[in-house]
């Protein structure tokens, strides 16, 4: 049996896509939504897979780094896909129970990575 818990985070950031010839070539901003999912077994003592507060502590440094920033200062090509790969490398390395991430760039557009992607 697989059990998962997810915590949702939000941050605001600007970017543009160099060399891209659509509307995203211009500087613009997004209200990003990051869904962080952990999968595992319930600890019999705590009754939890992972405390939501612990998930928050893992993600907080990412949010503090990128919130209200120009993402081009951190990523050569700040697409949702490239950002998500970087987030995955950081978070999955620190907490192996992190099983998937989903980054919404808009309310209807997202990139997703999971253990199955490895």
Nearest to 34 by CA among 82, 104, 83, 93: 104
Provide the annotated active-site residues.
24, 68, 105
Strand partners, 9: 34
Go through the chain and tell me how many residues it has. 118
Burial class (CB in 10 A: 0-12, 13-18, 19+), 38: buried
């Amino acid at each position: 049996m697989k059990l998962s818990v997810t915590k949702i985070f939000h941050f605001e950031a600007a970017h543009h896509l160099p060399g891209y010839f659509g509307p995203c070539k211009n500087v613009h901003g997004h209200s990003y939504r990051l869904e962080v999912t952990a999968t595992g077994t319930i600890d019999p003592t705590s009754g939890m897979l992972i405390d939501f507060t612990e998930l928050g502590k893992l993600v907080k440094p990412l949010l503090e780094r990128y919130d209200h920033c120009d993402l081009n200062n951190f990523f050569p090509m700040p697409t949702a896909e490239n950002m998500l790969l970087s987030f995955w490398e950081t978070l999955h390395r620190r907490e192996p129970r992190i099983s998937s991430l989903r980054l919404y760039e808009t309310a209807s557009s997202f990139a997703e990575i999971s253990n199955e992607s490895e």
